Amino acid sequence: MTKDQLKKYLDGVIDDIRTLYIKTQEKLREIQKKANSEWTTVYNVPVHMTPDQQAANAAVMQDAANKLNQEYKEAVEKAIQEATDAIATIKKSAIQDLTAAEPVPTDIQLRMAEQIKKEYRSGNNALSLDRVKQFEADMNYHVENETVKAYPFYLAAKDLFPDNGGNADILNAAYMKLFPAITEKQSVLDEIGECERFFRAAIITHKLDTITAINSEADQLEVIRLKEELASLGEIGKLNQRVIQYS
């Protein structure tokens, strides 16, 4: 399954779940209508039920409603699990492609990287701001000119710079220049991750949209958990913070 096929599949799963919810609600309304009725039909003849018969009928209808709700929940969870498995499969394939494309440094390149680190480190084994700027300028020169030091400079940078903040930007910029093919594979993996986050956000939002009552502390905790998970998805979560009115 390609990334585009995955996106189309996930969109279809979301639509199917929403459609199933609407159909389930329609059936529940029919069940409720029967539960509230004082009449039944015997051989096509309307018959008024006694109070006991009405109570028994209401109990039967409640069981039918409970069964229908359970079937809906099981169908939704099955669809979500199948979608989650599909995402995991395509993500695993993308990670394997990326890992297979990663270069394996030679002994010479590793020794060059160690020498570069020694040249730029100060006495306390750290880089000053000036040395960082000089290192970045020198690394970019070798990367731009595709010299034999380009990859060793990148290897040295991975050890010298923490993988966050502005230093991470320096590393990423050099990496993208050094390995454009790998960068493309990484972008595929990133897009798969975006599809996954959007799917999760859509599912969470659907669950929030369809909560009709909060009857217990467990219900309250579940709502809080869902909202926190939606917020953790960042901008994609914000895009999904809307309410579909199911009538």
Greater pLDDT, 122 or 196: 196
Asked if residue 190 is part of any domain, the answer here is yes
Instruction: Give residues with Cβ within 8 angstroms of 51, minimum separation 6.
Output: none
Asked if residue 139 is part of any domain, the answer here is yes
Asked if residue 98 is part of any domain, the answer here is yes
Rounded average pLDDT over 48-75? 95
Name the percent of the chain lying above pLDDT 70: 91
pLDDT at 124: 62
Rounded average pLDDT over 66-85? 97
pLDDT at 173: 84
Structural domain harbouring 66:
3-102+183-239
pTM over 0.75? The answer is no
Query: Which of 139, 156, 178 is where one domain is finished?
Result: 178
Asked if residue 206 is part of any domain, the answer here is yes
* Amino acid at residue number 28: L
Q: Identify whether residues 20 and 83 lie together within a single domain.
A: yes
Q: Identify whether residues 18 and 33 lie together within a single domain.
A: yes
**What is the crossing angle of helices 150-160 and 165-178, to 10°?**
160
Asked if residue 244 is part of any domain, the answer here is no
Asked if residue 55 is part of any domain, the answer here is yes
Contact between residue 191 and residue 236 where contact means Cβ atoms under 8 Å apart = no
Query: Which of 131, 150, 178 is where one domain is finished?
Result: 178
Rounded average pLDDT over 92-96? 93
* Amino acid at residue number 187: S
pLDDT at residue 246 tops 60? no
Q: Identify whether residues 64 and 21 lie together within a single domain.
A: yes
At 8-57, the pLDDT tens digits run 999 999 999 999 999 999 999 999 999 999 998 888 899 999 999 999 99
Tally of structural domains, the chain: 2
Q: Identify whether residues 8 and 82 lie together within a single domain.
A: yes
At 136-147, the pLDDT tens digits run 999 999 999 999
Asked if residue 84 is part of any domain, the answer here is yes
Q: Identify whether residues 91 and 187 lie together within a single domain.
A: yes
221-238 as b/e: b if 16+ CB within 10 A = eeeeebeeebeebeebbe
At 161-200, the pLDDT tens digits run 765 566 778 888 888 889 888 888 988 999 999 999 999 9
Q: Identify whether residues 7 and 91 lie together within a single domain.
A: yes
**What is the crossing angle of helices 150-160 and 107-120, to 10°?**
60
- In which band, very low, low, confident or very high, does the pLDDT at 241 lie, cut at 50, 70 and 90? low
Listed residue (154, 157, 236) closest to 191, CA to CA: 236
Residue 151, exposed/middle/buried by CB under 10 A (0-12, 13-18, 19+)?
buried
